[in-house]
Amino acid sequence: MFSSQQRKDLIEEARGKVFDVLVIGGGITGACAARDAARRGLSTAIVDKNDWAFGTSSRSSKLVHGGLRYLELFDFKLVFEACRERRRLLLNAPHVVWPQSFIFPVYKGDKAPLPIIAMGLWMYDFLALFRNVQNHQLHGPRRILEVEPELDSERLKGGGQFYDCATDDARLTLAHVQSARLEGACCLNYARVVDILLDGGMACGARVRDEVSGDEFDIEARMVLNCTGPWTDSICCMGDPEAIPKLRPTKGSHIIVPWERVKATNAMPIISPADKRMMFLVPWGDYALVGTTDTDYTDDYDTIHASREDVDYILEAANKALPKANLAYDDIISTYAGLRPLISAEVKDVKESQVSREHSIYEGHSGLISIAGGKLTTARSMAEELVDLAVRRMGERFGTRPAKCTTSKAPVFGKDGTDFSRRLERLAGDLRLDGDVISKLQLLGTGAVRVLGMVAEDGSGEKRLGDGIPYIEAEVVYSAREEMVVTLTDFMVRRSLIYYEDREQGLGCAEKTAELLGRELGWNKKERKRQVEEYRKVVELSRTFKE
């Protein structure tokens, strides 16, 4: 479905066709927009200059949440929308979105006492129409400490328990791209837009450079949608050099530590002692994720990484919330950072964390339609609004009939029946695969069955990529044949979680993985070596906080 050869075929298709819609940007919003447009019967192309979910969409806090903290900003509309979309994702993508229990501890001296927290949790359930995984509960300090003994017992007054959802954000994005492809969309990663094509002053496509071959070609389209997140302003300027900047990007950094160092059974908000800003600690299998920061950012978007200041800020907050953990640099397995494409605030002295998470849609003089802001959780509804506008404009300009959105109840690629996990475990058990391998395979949804089929067919591919690494060789081959992997980094960072969870961040198995990919993608020895070196640079960038 997504092999290297099929990518070449898709490029040829893109060269010789006028599409109804061209989506620029392969993050979650662009992926949802491409899927939406394709399901409406519109001929659709989607391109990204890098891999799917390379930017913001693979660097989140891995949560699909209603935005509890936005209640403090009285942003009830956003919370209602996010709660609704959270439920839809849980139903439509259960292989990559799952329930996550939260504990909200309340301490002596907190600016929001327990009655205020209780009222907020009631409001949270109300805005979810009481259709969350479970409604909230309030607990005294003894009960809280029974489930979370690492909390600061001396200051604890009690707290609440509520539910949101967690996700593998990169795989959630990929699943939407795969869904778009199944609906007929032409999907091209590593296809950089270098210019917007204009006809009579109106956007009619884009000039694209294939980052693999270096060739440039035109993709023509009736409507062009800009879903590039932090890169929105740069694309807008291609269509209109006089376009006014619309974004205020802020940087969000995270750290990942072994679970045993924090022993958190539930996710929990933690408050920074430095500025009283809320972050999250999220259990992540054998690990825990802590973040995120929120600071204005103006440097290179493509090489963003967690700085020492970011890491110190996170560690201080984590150690304040969990004083027994005493986390230090040596506990950190990996770090990552991304950019939020927030809408510019009219008031310049507004704090970064107070900038609205609402989205906005802009129409340029050239007819280029751009969307920015928003949240991972609300990407589907954002895409619906964006494509609705595009369909209306197509009707005005070309006399086409509008088509309605059908994504709200449509399962994404990889969803199977309710007994899928049990069926997968039975298949994997027949092949004598370990539980940790099965756990990772489940994130592929129905793709996991294909992987196991590859193993059963020729009796190979069941070997792990390395000691303690819960990924097998067949997964690498599958990713090259079915998931449009173009580089080694694609697999290590976004098709697997090796970059995040392995103490060596996959450097010990990089050569072996490159060899497996190289067989499928036609890499010679020199190219395999180059791929490993490029991945090594990615790992080194994530470790600069130690310098």
Instruction: Tell me the pLDDT tens digit for each residue of 293-310.
Output: 999 999 999 999 999 999
Q: Dump pLDDT digits (tens) for 218-243.
A: 999 999 999 999 999 999 999 888 88
Question: In the structure, what pLDDT confidence band is assigned to residue 352 with cuts at 50, 70 and 90?
Answer: very low
Q: For position 136, what pLDDT does the model report?
A: 86
Distance of alpha carbon 292 from the chain centroid: 14
Of 317-326, 353-362, 515-524, the poorest mean pLDDT is in 353-362
Q: Dump pLDDT digits (tens) for 306-334.
A: 999 999 999 999 999 999 999 999 999 99
Six token digits for residue 450: 């294909």
Cα 186 from Cα 195, distance rounded (Å): 19
Q: For position 346, what pLDDT does the model report?
A: 42
Cα 407 from Cα 32, distance rounded (Å): 9
Cα 273 from Cα 314, distance rounded (Å): 10
Q: For position 339, what pLDDT does the model report?
A: 95
CB 163 within 8 A of CB 100: yes
Domain definitions of the chain by residue range: 4-55+170-247+364-398, 63-167, 420-546
Q: Assign domain 4-55+170-247+364-398 to its CATH superfamily.
A: FAD/NAD(P)-binding domain (3.50.50.60)
Q: For position 474, what pLDDT does the model report?
A: 95
Q: Count Cα atoms within 13 angstroms, Cβ side, for 513.
A: 35
How does DSSP assign 322-376, residue by residue?
A: -TTT---GGG--EEEEEEE-PBPPSSTT--GGGS---EEEEE-TTS-EEEEE--S
Q: For position 347, what pLDDT does the model report?
A: 35
| Helix (H) or strand (E) segment spanning residue 1 | none
Longest dimension (CA), the chain: 70
**DSSP-derived 3-state class of residue 128:** coil
Report the pLDDT averaged over residues 382-409.
94
Q: Same fold for the domain at 4-55+170-247+364-398 and the one at 420-546?
A: no
Q: So what's the architecture of 420-546 in CATH?
A: Orthogonal Bundle (1.10)
Of 24-28, 68-72, 537-541, the poorest mean pLDDT is in 68-72
Q: Dump pLDDT digits (tens) for 128-160.
A: 887 887 888 899 999 999 989 999 888 899 999
Report the pLDDT averaged over residues 481-504.
97
Report the pLDDT averaged over residues 379-396.
96
Q: Dump pLDDT digits (tens) for 416-465.
A: 866 677 777 777 777 788 889 988 999 999 999 889 888 888 777 899 99
Does pLDDT of 216 surpass 50?
Answer: yes
Q: For position 119, what pLDDT does the model report?
A: 86
Q: For position 417, what pLDDT does the model report?
A: 66
Helix axes 473-482, 510-521, angle to 10 degrees: 40
Q: For position 348, what pLDDT does the model report?
A: 43
**Which percentage of the chain shows pLDDT scores above 70?**
97
Q: Count Cα atoms within 13 angstroms, Cβ side, for 279.
A: 32
Q: For position 73, what pLDDT does the model report?
A: 66
- Cα torsion 457, 459, 465, 469: sign: positive
